[in-house]
Structure 1
Amino acid sequence: MGSQSNKQLPASDDTIDIVTKPFGTAAVIIIGIIALAFGLFLSVSLGAANIHLQTVWEAVFHFDPHQTSHQIIRELRLPRTVGAALVGAFLAVSGAIMQGMTRNALASPEIMGVTNGSAFAIAIALAFFPGQSSFTLILWSFVGAALGASIVFGVGTMSKGGLTPVKLALAGTAVGALLSSISSAIAIRFDVAQDMSFWYAGGVAGVNWSNIHIIIPVAIAGLIIAMILARSITVLSLGEELAKGLGQYTKTVKVLGILVVILLTGAAVSVAGSIGFIGLVIPHVTRFLVGVDYRWIIPCSAILGATLLIYADIAARLVNAPFETPVGAITAIIGVPFFLYLARRERSGI
């Protein structure tokens, strides 16, 4: 039975022991926080307007509302930077939870239909209920995320043989493509394609403080529930039969885990659009660095996900300055080769 569990656990195919890797969890956290802090500094300092570092410091700690440069820092660059960090953390933690619950190396919010579900709901809101506030759009995004996840898991569960990692990935890809197609049709038919292009491209340029204030409570709730579930997800990632044998209520863990994914992904898509592959790549990197204990994977994924998206956003500004490249394109350059590598490895494992 132990060897069978190893074969069915692509997310941690080299061990089923709850141990840390040689890099050391503390080292990963410390280095990650340093890289994140440096990225935050760069993100606030760089932009279309050339602002001296001394002015940046003064705008952050001695704000003068009468200076244009201070307004740029406080009202444009700071919320953008904070938003990038939050969205990156949301997507990475969502991906880690999905991979742990489904024992599927390819699981992530965009591949499981959650991201496309959010975009679908936002398309309906823009087409049929124009003039929605940021808070209302976030609620629509949550509903869409729940819809996408429900359809994917429902299709996978009802299929012959039950819910398997391969069926889950196939169902997620098919449902995601369907929802994306319907969203595009709605956008064209009701002339909201320009508004929807933001969600398709993905980016944090439009994030403001009102968005941040709305999603921070979601972040706190989602991350707290994720940490409470961390130990249960670790056991579940080793095999559902093993988890049940240890007395775990696996259905409860899955329902709560899906709730966390819906909260975090819905919040991320509502403010930043569809940014792919962070939820796929970061959990794998984190497991390689710290092992398979989700009590460490979740916080480390949050740090590394935030760091990746901040640097990707910086790159998006600099690649074709003074014009901006969609940050989703930057993450795709990293994520697509990684996805193909995982798909090839999974196929070889079969």
Structure 2
Amino acid sequence: MQVIKISMVKKKIQNNQKFVILLICSLFFIAAMIVLSIFIGAEKSITFKDFINALFNYNDENFNETIIRNIRIPRIIADIMVGACLAVAGAIMQGTTKNPMADSGIMGISSGSVFSIIIIMVFFPNISRLGRIGFSCLGALVVTLLIYTVAFIGRKGLSSDRMVLSGMAISTLFSSVTTAVVLKTGQSGEMMKYMAGSAANTIWLDIYVSLPFFIVSIVISIAISRSLTILNLGDEVSKGLGGNVTLIKTLSTIVVLVLSAIAVVIIGPVGYVGLMVPHIVRHICGTDYRYVIPSCALLGAAFVLFVDFIAKNIMPGFEFPIGLLITIIGVPFFIFASRRTDENTFNG
């Protein structure tokens, strides 16, 4: 017994150290990507003086200062927010469903948000940014309820595997309907670009409206992180330790819906971030959600910043949609992770 306790203490110390190292590395990487994203892009003549003036002595007639202040900085903030949103939402979904393959994109939640946004863009183009977030959350909620309903049908009842399969099927359905709506309207160019996932059109208003919801959701995620760790051991264990399972699952669902909706409103549908980042974090820091949530937020932000930087610069004269680029990275990871999960060798 004493040997087991010593081993557990050593493992906890190691996880603490890995957690701190991961946070520091993520922060340094984010800082480096911010600098690169500000100074490197389609406009090659950005100088340090332009950057300082854009922050403290802004002249809206100066092209470079306008590029920095109204295009690059909002885009950087959007990348950070979306990366954190998707990674934290994925981590929470994997914890509450006890399925390491859960992700807002794979499960179909994002498809409901995208469908709602496309409907708004077609029929209510003048609706406010706040209204878009509300409709995005509503679409995500409708799809979530559909997923639970479809997954629950049958003699075997609800299971995490059935939820993932139901989510993928419903996601395909909503994506097809959304594409049909876009093609029918004759406004397919801009909408298809949005559906591919892009931060290119982010404006300050998107940030101002989304930021309060983002902050509150991340704070709630951190606040319930200890309960999520216990919940991951099983509902009965959580109840035995005095946890309110219904409350934690309800809060978790609300947080996931809001975070997913924010990401869709700002950039559009971006999948696999919520799958890849939590897997990597748990592999490094363990399954304690007090470590997982903040680590996912920072690593997710760093990852999306990096991918968006590559998307902007990989092909001169053409901007690769960030959603497509992440999908190219995410699909092989999904196959790899699913094989590892089947073999019970991946710590999910």
State the TM-score, normalizing by the size of structure 1.
Answer: 0.90
* Residues 45 and 108 of structure 1: CA distance in aligned 2, closer, same or farther (over 3 Å): same
Q: What is the aligned partner in structure 1 of residue 206 from structure 2?
A: 211
Contact 2:102/2:164 (<8 A) preserved: yes
Residue 56 of structure 2 corresponds to residue 65 of structure 1: no
Q: What is the aligned partner in structure 1 of residue 144 from structure 2?
A: 149
Bigger mean CA deviation after superposition, 149-158 or 217-226: 149-158
1:1-350 superposed matches below 5 A: 21=15, 24-50=18-44, 51-349=46-344
Contact 2:182/2:192 (<8 A) preserved: no
Shift of residue 90 of structure 1? 0.5
Shift of residue 298 of structure 1? 0.6
Contact 1:79/1:212 (<8 A) preserved: yes
- Cα distance in 2 for residues equivalent to 1:18 and 1:103: 22
1:40-65 superposed Cα distances (whole Å, 9 cap, x missing partner): 11111111111123322332344333
Q: What is the aligned partner in structure 2 of residue 10 from structure 1?
A: none
1:243-265 superposed Cα distances (whole Å, 9 cap, x missing partner): 22223221221111010011111
- Cα distance in 1 for residues equivalent to 2:106 and 2:205: 29
Q: How many positions carry a matched residue from both structures?
A: 334
Structure 1 gaps, min length 5: 1-16
- Cα distance in 2 for residues equivalent to 1:20 and 1:252: 32
- Cα distance in 1 for residues equivalent to 2:119 and 2:227: 36
| Corresponding letter in the other structure for 2:230 | V
Contact 1:118/1:266 (<8 A) preserved: yes
Bigger mean CA deviation after superposition, 105-114 or 233-242: 233-242
Shift of residue 313 of structure 1? 0.5
Contact 1:18/1:292 (<8 A) preserved: no
State the TM-score, normalizing by the size of structure 2.
Answer: 0.91
| Corresponding letter in the other structure for 1:205 | A
* Residues 321 and 98 of structure 1: CA distance in aligned 2, closer, same or farther (over 3 Å): same
- Cα distance in 2 for residues equivalent to 1:18 and 1:255: 29
Contact 1:95/1:280 (<8 A) preserved: yes
Contact 1:23/1:289 (<8 A) preserved: no
Shift of residue 18 of structure 1? 6.8
Percentage of identical aligned residues: 34
Shift of residue 333 of structure 1? 2.4
Q: What is the aligned partner in structure 2 of residue 13 from structure 1?
A: none
- Cα distance in 2 for residues equivalent to 1:61 and 1:27: 34
Q: CA RMSD in A?
A: 1.8
Shift of residue 138 of structure 1? 2.1
Shift of residue 345 of structure 1? 2.1
Structure 2 gaps, min length 5: 1-10
* Residues 198 and 287 of structure 1: CA distance in aligned 2, closer, same or farther (over 3 Å): same
* Residues 172 and 18 of structure 1: CA distance in aligned 2, closer, same or farther (over 3 Å): farther
